[in-house]
């Protein structure tokens, strides 16, 4: 029997962030992940501290942001290769009124740190932006696929990873904590994303799957070095290739790519870019979202050895380090969780 401090189920953005917190505290752990259709694998990896639809800050953005770049740079060092780079985000203005709203937002407390208080002129003949751009500062992109594959290899080298689904019915609750197969731990942390719907300990919580699809295009003439935001993103990923998306589908709960999504994205894309391109790939995933747009973090009220880190939605790249810190401080120090994310805001789900 192997003893560790924590068992972690899931190695997406949330699971990796929690691993990093454990490493910083010199805690031992073991991770199970089936390496299946996780939402993290198809995430854009873009962190942007401004909600560009309304020119507001996401929940706790100012608390999340200070250590964000340091977190991703440190992970790059651990994996012996950069996984993170700064990239500016330019919002296409839709009107003069939209520009004025941008200027108003740029003077607000908090937003002023991120919103550049000028109009950035469009000089790219292949971009349709008659009212030009607003530029968000301090943004960046994480190579999620490189992150997950690299972190998996790192854990395999340290004998802390198994590529396997977890059978929840075979999790044993013990006096010391929890046992699964031949591993004992004081806690098990579920970071399963939408897979939580099959977790009998937490499945009653209001996690709502939101299917998103991206296409990848090859556009040699586009020559974009910045991420462009309209009602969707166009994100350069290198070698004249761009990630375009994403769609939002609240009905389907599968990870299959669809012709409908591709056509939707191409229709939108052609309103923004005017050059030849070729669709070279398409991906789909289920975002773990909630009705109140807040994560699901906390400890099971009846089984204190069971913890949850989930519901990151579309902002996992930005939120995961902060949420992992909140959970480890709660588990190790007894520090209260922010009420907005604590799963006990849904007490009837555990009755």
Domains and CATH numbers, the chain: 2-44+145-206+292-350 (3.50.50.60), 88-138 (no CATH), 207-290 (3.30.9.10)
User: How is the chain split among helix, strand and coil, in percent rounded to 5?
Assistant: 30, 30, 40
The number of angstroms, rounded, from the C-alpha of 234 to the middle of its chain's C-alpha atoms is 17
Residue 117, C-beta contacts closer than 8 angstroms, at least 6 positions apart? 103, 106, 107
Q: Give tens-digit pLDDT for 94-133.
A: 999 999 999 999 999 999 999 999 999 999 999 999 999 9
pLDDT score for 41: 64
Question: Model confidence at 1, in pLDDT bands (50, 70, 90)?
Answer: confident
Question: Residue 185 has which token pair?
Answer: 């731990």
Mean pLDDT of the chain: 94
* Residue 278: closest CA among 245, 306, 240, 252: 240
**pTM for the structure as a whole:** 0.94
């Amino acid at each position: 029997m192997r003893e560790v401090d924590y068992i972690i189920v899931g190695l997406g953005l949330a699971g990796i962030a929690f691993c990093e917190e454990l490493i910083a505290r010199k805690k031992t752990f073991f991770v199970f992940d089936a390496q299946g259709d996780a939402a993290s694998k198809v995430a854009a990896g873009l962190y942007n501290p401004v909600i560009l639809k309304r020119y507001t800050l996401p929940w706790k953005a100012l608390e999340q942001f200070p250590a964000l770049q340091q977190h991703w740079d440190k992970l790059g060092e651990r994996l012996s290769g950069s996984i993170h780079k700064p990239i500016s985000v330019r919002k296409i203005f839709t009107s003069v009124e939209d520009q004025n709203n941008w200027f108003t937002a740029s003077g607000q407390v908090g937003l002023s740190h991120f919103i550049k208080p000028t109009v950035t002129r469009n000089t790219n003949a292949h971009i349709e932006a008659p009212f030009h751009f607003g530029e968000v500062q301090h943004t960046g992109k994480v190579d999620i696929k490189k992150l997950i594959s690299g972190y998996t290899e790192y854990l395999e080298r340290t004998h802390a990873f198994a590529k396997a689904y977890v059978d929840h019915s075979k999790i044993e609750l013990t006096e010391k904590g929890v046992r699964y197969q031949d591993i004992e731990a004081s806690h098990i942390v579920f970071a399963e994303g939408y897979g939580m719907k099959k977790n009998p300990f937490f499945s009653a919580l209001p996690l709502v799957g939101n299917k998103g699809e991206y296409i990848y295009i090859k556009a040699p003439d586009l020559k974009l070095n910045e991420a462009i935001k309209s009602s969707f993103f166009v994100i350069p990923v290198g070698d004249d290739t761009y990630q375009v998306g994403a769609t939002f589908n609240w009905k389907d709960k599968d990870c299959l790519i669809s012709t409908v999504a591709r056509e939707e994205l191409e229709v939108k894309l052609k309103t923004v870019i005017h050059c030849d391109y070729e669709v070279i790939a398409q991906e789909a995933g289920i975002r773990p979202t909630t009705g109140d747009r807040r994560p699901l973090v906390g400890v099971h009220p009846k089984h204190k050895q069971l913890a949850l880190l989930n519901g990151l939605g579309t902002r996992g790249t930005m939120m995961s380090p902060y949420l992992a810190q909140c959970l480890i401080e709660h588990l190790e120090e007894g520090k209260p969780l922010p009420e907005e994310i604590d799963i006990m805001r849904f007490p009837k789900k555990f009755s």
